Structure 1
Amino acid sequence: MLSAGSLATLFENTIGPAFDDAHEYGYRGEFHGSNAVMRMVLDEQKQPDVIVSADAELLRTRLPEDIAPWDVVFGSNALVIAYGPDTAVGERLEGEEPWFEVLSEADAEIARSDPDLDPLGYRALQLFDLAEQYYDRDGLAPALTENLVIDPQEAHILARVEAQERAAAIVYKNMAVDHGLPYVELPEKLDFSNPEHADYYAQATYTTEDGTTVEGAPVLYNATVPSTAPNPEAGRAFLKFLLSNPEMLTENGLVVTDAFPRPHGPVPEEIVP
C-alpha cells in the first residue's frame, strides 16, 4: 500500500495488524505526501496494490483513468494547530488568545509539510489565505507565513513538536490525536472539514512546482486498487477490510459519516460493504 503520510499511524498500528490477523495476505505500507505518491505511480517507481490519497480530486486528476478508473472516499479530516504545551506559543494558545495573533507574532518556528509533495502543505497556505479574508485582516496571510518552516516528511512532522524543536505545526486532527498533542480547532470555514463550505475553500489556490493549480477543497480520503497492481485481489481485500471497519478510523481521529463510503466510478461490487 502506498498512502498519504497523515495516515501512517492508523495503518501501521491499527488497520495493518488487524488485516494481517484476519487475512492470508500480508500487509506492508509506505507513506509519503499524496502528491509524491501520485508521482511515484506515474513514474513507475512504485507499483502498489492500493493507493490512498488525502485529496480525492488529486488522485482523480493526477492518475489517468487507465490506471485508476475508480476510487472510494472513506473518511474526512480537519486541519488543526498542534502545539507543544511547554513552549511560549503553546502557553499563549492555551490562554485562548486568537490563534492567528499567536502564530503571526511568534518568535518561533511553525512547521508545515512541503506543499509540492502533499496536500497538507498547500492546505496550510490556503488556510492562511482564507483566514485573512475570514478575519478581515489585511496582510495576515504573509505575516502567518513568515514563521513557517517546511518539514519534508509529513508522517514525521510532529516528532519535532514533541521534541520541542518546533513550537507548533499545521496538521490534520488525527495526527495530533495519534501523537497525544494538544491542538487548537479552527472554524469550519477554515479547517477544510465540511463539504458544505466547498465553494468557500475553493477561493484559495496553490500552484505546485510542476504547474498544477490546486483549489482549496474538503479533506476527503479516497483509495483505489490501480490497474497496475501486482496483486489486485489482495488490494481489493484490503480495501474491503478498510471500508468494513469504520470504527477503527473514528478511534484514530478521522470522521466517518453516513455519507461514507462514497464510490466514484466503476467500483468492484465486492469492495463496498
Structure 2
Amino acid sequence: MKRTLVLISLVLLAVVAAGCVETTSEEKLIIFHAGSLSIPFKDLENEFAAYAKKNLRTSVTFQDEASGSVKAVRKVTDLGKKADIVATADYTLIPQMLVPNYTDFYVLFATNEIVIAFTSKSKYVNEIDSNNWYEILAKPDVSFGFSDPNQDPCGYRSVMVTKLADIYYGKPIFETLIEKNTNIIASGTHIYAPKEIQVKTKRIVIRPKETDLTGLVESGSLDYYFIYKSVAEQHHLRYIELPAEINLEDFKKASYYGQVSITIGSTGKTIKAKPIVYGVTALRDAPNKKLALEFLKYLLSEKGKEVFQKNYQDFIWPPIAFGKVPDEIKNLVKVEK
C-alpha cells in the first residue's frame, strides 16, 4: 500500500511538472531583401528571434534571400514566389510593382548615400579624393565596378551619379566612364540601360548586386566600386564621399537630382534620380502574416533603429507609412496619404 502511494505521488508530480513547461511553436519567416540590408537584417533577426522565443513563445527561423531590389520584387511579381517580407533599397519599387496586387501599404525606414570604396591595394589610392575621383577611374590601368542597373537600385543609382557629375563638374564623365565601357547610353540627361548589359573593356566589372563586388575589392582584384556608405563602413573599407549634389543623400536637393532619369530594360520603367530611401512591406498573401507583422513592429521600433545605427545606416524616425497601414504598426509610424 505504501509503495502504491509513492508511485501515485510520483505520477502526480510528473503531471504537474509537465503542465508547468511552456510549449514553444516553430515558425518560419521568408524575407526577400536588398543586398545592402544583409548585415543589419541579420543582426535584427537574431534579436527578434530571442524576443519571439521569450515573449511570443515562438521559435523563429528565417529564410533570407538577398538580391538586387528589382530582382527581389520580380521574384514575387514574375516568378510567383511566396514571401512574408519584402525590403528594398528603393522604396518606389513597392508602389510601382507590388501595389495594389501584392500589398496595400509600405513603410519608408532608412536612408543611405553613394560613395566610392576601395582598399590600400587600389591603384592611385593616395591620390584619389572627392574632387578628382572621375579622373582616377578614367585611367587605363584602373578597374572599377557597380551593380547591374536591371537588378539593383545601387546599380542604376551609380550610373545616375555619373550623369549628375556631368552637370556638377561640367565634364563628360558619364560618356568617359559608362558609355565608352558599356552599352549603357544617354540622350541628354536621360539614360537607357539595356536588358542585357554588355561590358566593352576589362576595366569595368558589373555584378547582380552591389555586395557581390565587395569581395573583389577586398581581394585587390578590383580597384574601386560605387557602393552605399553603410556597406563600406560595415566592411571597414576606405571610401571617398561625393559632393551632396551627386551622392543622392540630401533631401533638400531632390529637385536637383531629378534632372537625371534612367529607363531600365528589364522592367521598361523610368526612374528619376532621388534621395536614397529604403522601403519595406508585408505581402498580402504572406505565408505567416501574423508573425511578419510582429517582425515589422520590431524593425520599426527603437530596437530596429538601434540595430541600423550600430551598422552605420541612418534610420528614418519616425518611419513614414503609406496606404492601408495595418493596425499593428500604426502607433510606430507617421501615416501619410
Q: Do the structures match in fold with TM over 0.5?
A: yes
Name the counterpart of 1:261.
319
Instruction: Pick the aligned partner of 1:62 from 79, 88, 97.
Output: 97
Whether 1:229 aligns to 2:286 is yes
CA distance in structure 1 between the aligned counterparts of 2:168 and 2:36, rounded to whole angstroms: 26
Give the conservation status (yes or no) of the 8 Å contact 1:89–1:167.
no
Aligned pair partner of 1:133 in 154, 167, 172: 167
| 8 Å Cα contact 1:11-1:29 kept in structure 2 | no
Give the number of aligned pairs. 269
In structure 2, the residue matched to 1:40 is: 75
Shift of 1:180: 0.6
Residue 106 of structure 1 and its aligned partner are, at CA, apart by 5.0
2:273 counterpart of 1:243: no
Q: In the superposition, relative to structure 1, how do residues 51 and 241 fare at CA in structure 2: closer, same or farther (>3 Å)?
A: same
Which residue of the other structure, out of 269, 274, 284, is the alignment partner of 1:212? 269
* Matching of residue 2 in structure 1 with residue 32 in structure 2: yes
Q: In the alignment, residue 265 of structure 1 is paired with which amino acid?
A: G
- CA deviation string 1:8-54 (max 9, x = no partner): 12212x11111111112333311110110111100244211000011
Q: In the alignment, what sits opposite 2:132?
A: 98
1:189 Cα shift? 1.6
Give the whole-Å Cα distance in 2 for the aligned partners of 1:98 and 1:108. Answer: 14
SS of equivalent residue, structure 1 residue 107: coil
Q: What CA deviation, in whole Å up to 9, does each residue of 1:96-119 have, x standing for no partner?
A: 762122112252221100000011
Is the CA contact 2:146–2:213 (under 8 Å) kept in the aligned structure 1?
A: yes
1:268, distance to aligned residue in structure 2 (A) = 1.0
State the SS of the aligned residue for 1:158. Answer: helix
Q: What secondary structure sits across from 1:56 in the alignment?
A: coil
Letter of the structure 2 residue corresponding to residue 110 of structure 1: F
TM-score (norm 1): 0.93
Secondary structure of the equivalent of 1:115? Answer: coil
Alignment map for 1:168-207 (pairs within 5 Å): 168-207=224-263
Distance 1:126-1:22 versus aligned 2 partners, 3 A rule: same
**Per the alignment, do residues 208 and 257 of structure 1 end up closer, same or farther by CA in structure 2, a change over 3 Å counting?**
closer
Residue 195 to residue 224, structure 1, CA distance change in 2 (3 Å): same
The share of aligned pairs that are identical, in percent, is 31
Residue matched to 1:15: 44
Task: Tell me the distance in 2 between the aligned counterparts of 1:80 and 1:63.
Answer: 29
Letter aligned with residue 51 of structure 2: A
Contact 1:50 1:229 in 2 (8 A): yes
- Radius of gyration: which is bigger? 2
Q: Distance in 1 between matches of 2:145 and 2:49?
A: 34
User: Which of 1 and 2 has higher RCO (CA within 8 Å, sep 6+)?
Assistant: 1
The 3-state SS of whatever aligns with 1:157 is helix
* Superposition CA RMSD, Å: 1.6
Deviations 1:87-143 (A, max 9, x none): 21423226x762122112252221100000011101011000000110111x22111
Q: Gaps spanning 5+ residues in structure 1: where? A: none
TM-score normalised according to structure 2 size: 0.76
Deviations 1:240-272 (A, max 9, x none): 1111120111111211244x3011112112224
Consecutive unaligned residues of structure 2, counting only runs of 5 or more, are 1-30, 53-57, 182-202, 333-337
CA contact (8 A) 1:82 1:168 kept: yes
Measured in 1, the distance between the counterparts of 2:287 and 2:316 equals 32
Question: How far apart are the structure 2 equivalents of 1:175 and 1:158?
Answer: 9
CA distance in 2, matches of 1:129, 1:218: 15
SS of the aligned residue for 2:240 comes to strand
**SS of the counterpart of 1:254?**
coil
Which consecutive aligned stretches of 4+ in structure 1 deviate over 6 angstroms post-superposition?
none
